[in-house]
Structure 1
Amino acid sequence: MNTYQVDPWTALGDPTRRAIFERIADRSCAVVEIARELPVSRPAVSQHLKVLKEAGLVMDHPAGTRRIYSLNPAGVGALRADLERFWSKSLAAYKRVAEQANEEGS
């Protein structure tokens, strides 16, 4: 059992993990397919996938002797919810500043 939880934003802070995440977003694929498209080894890709999986951003399933990786909808949904929350706060702050400026200008 894994008790260490990786923060999804931290996981995506690494450029290689972000590139892997983007490739998996395009289509589900195996480690060998991802490694073929990146300047890193298969073991390195596996380690990056492990971090992304621990962060809840990707999931895998067996396909013969390989594991196929795809985005985890729940993890991606959580990222989206974070962004929505940040965006809502930013818009509310902007609205307050604009209203204050409008009141002062009247």
Structure 2
Amino acid sequence: MAVTKREEFTQEEIWLSDVAKAMSHPARIRILKILNETNSCIVGTLVDKLPLAQATVSQHLKELKRVGLIEGEIDGPKVCYCLNLKSLSKAKSAIDKLFSIIGCC
């Protein structure tokens, strides 16, 4: 049986690794860029801008939403997504803190 060592890490380390994992696909990076440029988006619009099927785009959106990088609001048969600025700011601060001192070997 596998033993987990998650309790050995801080909540911030676990959260940041989860965010990094969610951002580790180029389609998700592109989705974040599109949402940043348009300020909000409907799933159909995202599908038109990506070389992926609608079901695949929905899975990527689900993962970004799971970690809190985006928010979604149901508007009738459409879902509008936007960036979660508070969560993105927290991630940026955590990454900046992680690499605040970069030294050479």
Q: TM-score, normalised by structure 2?
A: 0.75
Q: How many residues align?
A: 89
1:80 aligned onto 2:88: no
Identify which of 34, 37, 47 aligns with 1:35.
47
* 1:89 matched residue in structure 2: 101
1:22 aligned onto 2:33: yes
The structural deviation recorded for 1:35 is 0.5
The structural deviation recorded for 1:25 is 1.1
Which of structures 1 and 2 has the bigger CA Rg?
1
Deviations 1:23-68 (A, max 9, x none): 1111210111000011101111000000000011000112232110
Structure with more of its chain in helix, by fraction: 1
Identify which of 45, 54, 71 aligns with 2:66.
54
Identify which of 16, 19, 22 aligns with 1:8.
19
Percent identity of the aligned residues? 28
Question: Which residues of structure 2 form unaligned runs of 5+?
Answer: 1-14
Structure 2 Cα separation of the partners of residues 68 and 82 of structure 1: 27
Deviations 1:53-101 (A, max 9, x none): 00110001122321100001122012111122034222xx47xx9xxxx
Question: Which residues of structure 1 form unaligned runs of 5+?
Answer: 98-106
Q: Which amino acid aligns with 1:20?
A: I
RMSD over aligned CA atoms reads: 2.0
